[in-house]
Structure 1
Amino acid sequence: MTSWNALRPIVQLFVRSGYRRQLLTGMLLAVATVLVGMALLGLSGWFLTACYVAGLSAATALVFDVFAPGAGVRLLSVLRTAARYGERVTTHDATLRVLAQLRVQLFSRFSAADVALRLRQRPARLLYRLTSDIDALDAVYLRLFTPAAALLASTVATALALGLFLDWRSGLLVGALVLAGGIACIAWCMRRGFATAIRRSFAGEHLRATVIDAVGGQTELVMAGRLHHQLQQVLAAERQQMAADMRLNQIEAQVGIAIAMTGHVATAAALLSAGWLVLQGQIGAPIAALATLVLLAALEPLLNIRRGAMEAGRTLLAARRLAPQLQTTPSLADPLPPATGLVVDLQDASVQYCASALATLQHIDLQVCDGEWLVLAGPSGTGKSSLLALMAGELQTSTGKVLRLPAASLPQRTELFHDSIAGNLRLACPDASNKALWEALEAAGLAAVVAALPQQLATPLGSQGAGLSGGESRRLALARLLLHPAPLTLLDEPTEGLDRHTADQVMQAIAGWHAARRTSTPGKPAAIVMASHLQREARHADRIVWVDPACTTWQDARKGTPEFDALIARLRPG
């Protein structure tokens, strides 16, 4: 998809948004601002020159009316200020609202199973798409279309004003000079700055990615002795961005000179025409001053559109990246439910990652019954986490079907946010009362820890749960999971990395919660599927399935059978 074609869905997004009237109002206010500014500067020039001419003789000075022009200048000043303020508020508010809608739309698209997995491997790219790329699109309306409309209006107004006060040939000549010179300056700016703006965008994305890698993986980089090398990459990316910024600044300065020269040429043409007409006695000096100053105000939109032209490369690159996502509809439909009595039904399901030549899982048939606690056991790398992702809807099948009820998941790496403890918990259930939060913390074995904190539930946490230990963060994530009303609960090695005592507390909490849910909510499905390779986790299960991609039929054993005990014995003690 070419960049200019990619810009079409972005323009359609602005046009078809619910803020079309506000966007149009902002554009009209921008036009009104420049027209009122032209009238203000023209009237001021006429007024000052007329006052000077009238003051040359006592007779004209006594009869000259200074009040009406003075009132007009004050009125136009107030109108211009109000129009400028209204234009800035209206255009920026509408743009931010449209871009907020775009972020929601893109986030929904990125959450789809076919996209989320790829973006999860490059989190810096996802962050850049949702922030810098979307921010670059504000230039489409704010710095391109709106000032272009103002420039067209000011050019027409200039031609009409000069045609009215001077003659129609002067109006056409000067109007053509303003329009042609303005278009030439903007086209030259886009041509010179296009490639540099793209390089600057790539350099900014690379810089952000290298900084995120350096900060997020600093422990591993230190252990591998690669931290210095990573910091050198950060500095190299910063130098690339700085070089692009310097080049853009040079181009912007050159464009500013070109715009100024365009204004000088047009002003010179207007002055020559006005001077000739003054010498011929067809107009007076005040009218000549009015015509010249009107022209100076007409060039204001060129200065506003210059920044949009400088960022055209970045804007079109962002449009090319985001347009394909806007033209596809994410699959947000509810999952197909399984037969009554089941919470999950995998029918001949296969999973193959896009970068892999071999399928991770092939022709899987697996059912999970209502109320059941199923453990997926087996060595690392056999596809247990892929099975959980399949059941959660985070992964699409290559072949086959997945019939499932809605699921809540506790992955190996828990995500806690820079918010209070209550805020992190209410992500699972926004309407949960404080009593429900304490019950979930009690079930997860964390109530005593939180109660001992000075602010208790209002205690703020840093990024990734900073302020809590690793085990406490894990139990807080578990408490959040226990609040979720989903009928299917997915756990991926829930006690990995915890000490024996804490792990036993967590497993007892999960077992007690599951037993209470099965008895207290009859008629509502409730099941647990857990990936594990530890005996302390698997012994709580009702059923164990040994995941082995090399076998077409997996070992399946229920609690109380010799096969169940044999599978437990194959797991790692703990």
Structure 2
Amino acid sequence: MTALLRILRLLIVASPWSMARGAMLAVLVLLMGAALLGLSGWFITATGLAGLAGIGIAFDVFRPSAGVRLLALGRAAARYGERLLTHDATLRALAALRVDLLKRVARRDGRQLQNLRGEAALTRIVADVDALDGVILRLFLPVLAAVVTHAVAFAALWWLAGAPVALSVLVGYVPAGLIILIALGWRSLSPSRTAEDEAQRLRRGVIDLIRDREASILTGSLAAGEEALLQTDRTARAAIRRLDVQERRAGLILAVAGSVALALALLAGDWVLSRGSVDAASAAIGVFVALALGEAFIPLRRGVTEIGRIIPAAERVLSEAEPAPVPSKEGRCEDATVLSLRVGDKHLSLNTGQAAVLTGASGIGKTTLLLRIAGLSTLSDARISILGRDPSHWAEADLRDAVTMVPQRSVLIAGTVRDNLALTGITDERAMWAALDAVALAETIRHRDGLDTLLGEGGSGLSGGETRRMALARAVLRRPKLLLLDEPTEGLDTETAAKVLAGIRAALPDTAILAALHRDVAHPLFGARVSLEL
């Protein structure tokens, strides 16, 4: 429940005035519904008694009928306004939360990002945030409206029909309603969680099957994959059916509780009427108000059945929404050394225009060290200074302007070559072509559709080496002070690798470069520079 309260606070703070107005209208809708039935019941009873007494012609029917019309129209208008305000505020809050969560995922440790399955993370975030709309729309607002409406109805019935009628309605509805909803929530925890988990597994499975359909066809595993998805779908549907059964059963019991409250109100009204405390029309009000109060429990049934889906989603969202660490406010040191690195007893200094190669056996930690320098990991215990400051002491935006890293896994998006290069924020065509020339990729792109060449998901349409060079071209466009390269020549033939390294240096003459390499360590770019062996 703590997670629900924290999420509730986040959503309300996102649009407090819209939420407050929507809450007032939600309460007003239920109050108008209870007042409408109460007034209608009083009006019908009073006119019937006036007719029986033979004084119908003297009975004022205009003001009560006007009140009935006012309440009916007002209730419809309030319902529309409540839906408009609360749904708009909730959707805005959830949209902002979704963007914030995606930003926080993007700030994860570099190793985590390399191992992250983007579609799985995106699907999880979208589903979790979508589940949270029930916190406001199906839990908070209905509970608030039900509590306020019952309190006001109790006070009004006490005043109009007497304490016995008011107490009969309150005792008939509230305890039974609470017990039924608590039992419904408890029994719905397991099926609602199962339904959500299986739905997520189904989405991921469909994405994986579509993405790997060629491999599935070639290996003959397509039918097995389809059957696994169908079984997941059957499990999810079975859990949803269990939820529906639980909700309908709770609805039936609530209806029975409502009938009991109605009978108690009728008996209490008869008792106060026999004692002469109120007239017959006033005694009948409790019966109609008891009938109207049943509306307060209808939206709560669906919200309570989804509690098993909402609570885990809230916990996951809160774990992602922890405040990001704030960089220290150290002043910038004007140090001529672009990179100062000490690992054990090894030391490396890179100034403007210098380059060094980082060598060592596979798995020894070269990539981890580069991630640490780039401020994307905290695993390495190396002592690092970039322009006089530790990477953790830089503001994120400033560090990204100063340092660019090209990892082993090159990531491209579906779209044009122009779209992929424009991710750097540089849209000048001449700069784009210069960057492609630097990585020996310009001729390949010119022979196709130029910068408008379409690439598929993940950059499909380019070979592995071309994909790597496209990522290097993006790094060239950034023109950083420090460029970190993790196996930049992997997948390239010797001649092309030499051209790419020379082209990068020619395009970025003032950039300090540190590259982790297994081959091409003797390239002239690094020949006269410092080599660090780990």
Could you say which TM-score interval applies, normalised by the shorter chain?
A: 0.7 to 0.9
CA RMSD of aligned residues (A): 3.9
What is the CA-CA distance between 1:473 and the residue it aligns to? 4.6
Q: Please, what TM-score do these two structures have when normalized by structure 1?
A: 0.76
What is the CA-CA distance between 1:437 and the residue it aligns to? 4.7
Tell me which amino acid in the other structure corresponds to 2:405: S
* Cα deviation code 1:292-313 (max 9, x no counterpart): 3322222222111112211212
What is the CA-CA distance between 1:132 and the residue it aligns to? 2.0
Q: What are the within-5 Å matches in structure 2 for residues 541-552 of structure 1?
A: 541=526, 549=534
Distance 1:336 1:234 in 2: 56
Q: Which residue of 2 aligns with 1:512?
A: 506
State whether structure 2 residue 369 is matched by structure 1 residue 401: no
State whether structure 2 residue 173 is matched by structure 1 residue 178: yes
User: How many residues were matched structurally?
Assistant: 519
Distance 2:267 2:405 in 1: 77
1:23 to 19, 22, 26: 19
What is the CA-CA distance between 1:325 and the residue it aligns to? 4.4
What SS class does the counterpart of residue 347 from structure 1 fall into? strand
2:346–2:532: 8 Å Cα contact kept in structure 1? no
Q: Which residue of 2 aligns with 1:191?
A: 186
1:32 to 28, 49, 63: 28
What SS class does the counterpart of residue 174 from structure 1 fall into? helix
Q: Which residue of 1 aligns with 2:304?
A: 309
- Identify if the C-alpha distance between structure 1 residues 48 and 542 changes in structure 2 by more than 3 Å, giving closer, same or farther: farther
Distance 2:76 2:428 in 1: 50
Q: Which residue of 1 aligns with 2:10?
A: 13
Distance 1:82 1:198 in 2: 36
1:108–1:330: 8 Å Cα contact kept in structure 2? no
1:338–1:404: 8 Å Cα contact kept in structure 2? no
Tell me which amino acid in the other structure corresponds to 1:533: H
Q: Which residue of 1 aligns with 2:73?
A: 78
What SS class does the counterpart of residue 299 from structure 1 fall into? helix
Q: Which residue of 2 aligns with 1:531?
A: 516
- Identify if the C-alpha distance between structure 1 residues 57 and 452 changes in structure 2 by more than 3 Å, giving closer, same or farther: farther
Q: Which residue of 2 aligns with 1:163?
A: 158
2:341–2:348: 8 Å Cα contact kept in structure 1? yes
What is the CA-CA distance between 1:480 and the residue it aligns to? 2.9
- Identify if the C-alpha distance between structure 1 residues 448 and 49 changes in structure 2 by more than 3 Å, giving closer, same or farther: farther
1:26–1:91: 8 Å Cα contact kept in structure 2? yes
State whether structure 2 residue 382 is matched by structure 1 residue 385: no
Tell me which amino acid in the other structure corresponds to 2:367: S
1:88 to 77, 83, 98: 83
Tell me which amino acid in the other structure corresponds to 1:157: V
State whether structure 2 residue 147 is matched by structure 1 residue 152: yes
- Identify if the C-alpha distance between structure 1 residues 45 and 444 changes in structure 2 by more than 3 Å, giving closer, same or farther: farther
Q: Judge which range, 266-275 or 64-73, deviates more.
A: 64-73
1:161–1:291: 8 Å Cα contact kept in structure 2? no
- Identify if the C-alpha distance between structure 1 residues 29 and 366 changes in structure 2 by more than 3 Å, giving closer, same or farther: farther
Distance 2:233 2:135 in 1: 27
1:26–1:90: 8 Å Cα contact kept in structure 2? yes
* Cα deviation code 1:428-480 (max 9, x no counterpart): 22x745665555456556667777888x7677755323566656654543443
* Cα deviation code 1:504-539 (max 9, x no counterpart): 765554243123xx3xxxxxxx22223333439944
Distance 2:482 2:308 in 1: 47
Q: Which ranges of structure 2 fall in alignment gaps of 5 or more residues?
A: 388-398
State whether structure 2 residue 137 is matched by structure 1 residue 142: yes
Distance 1:422 1:57 in 2: 88
1:252 to 243, 247, 250: 247
* Cα deviation code 1:239-275 (max 9, x no counterpart): 3323322221221111111222222211222233335
Q: Judge which range, 205-214 or 406-415, deviates more.
A: 205-214
State whether structure 2 residue 351 is matched by structure 1 residue 369: yes
- Identify if the C-alpha distance between structure 1 residues 472 and 340 changes in structure 2 by more than 3 Å, giving closer, same or farther: same
- Identify if the C-alpha distance between structure 1 residues 379 and 202 changes in structure 2 by more than 3 Å, giving closer, same or farther: same
Distance 1:452 1:78 in 2: 69
Distance 1:364 1:100 in 2: 48
Q: Which residue of 2 aligns with 1:300?
A: 295
Q: Which residue of 1 aligns with 2:484?
A: 490
Distance 1:270 1:440 in 2: 82
What SS class does the counterpart of residue 485 from structure 2 fall into? strand
Q: Judge which range, 397-406 or 457-466, deviates more.
A: 457-466
Q: Which ranges of structure 1 fall in alignment gaps of 5 or more residues?
A: 350-362, 519-525, 550-574
Tell me the percent identity: 37
Q: What are the within-5 Å matches in structure 2 for residues 459-498 of structure 1?
A: 462-466=456-460, 473-497=467-491
- Identify if the C-alpha distance between structure 1 residues 403 and 419 changes in structure 2 by more than 3 Å, giving closer, same or farther: same
Distance 2:319 2:258 in 1: 41
Tell me which amino acid in the other structure corresponds to 1:308: G
What SS class does the counterpart of residue 377 from structure 2 fall into? coil
What is the CA-CA distance between 1:389 and the residue it aligns to? 1.7
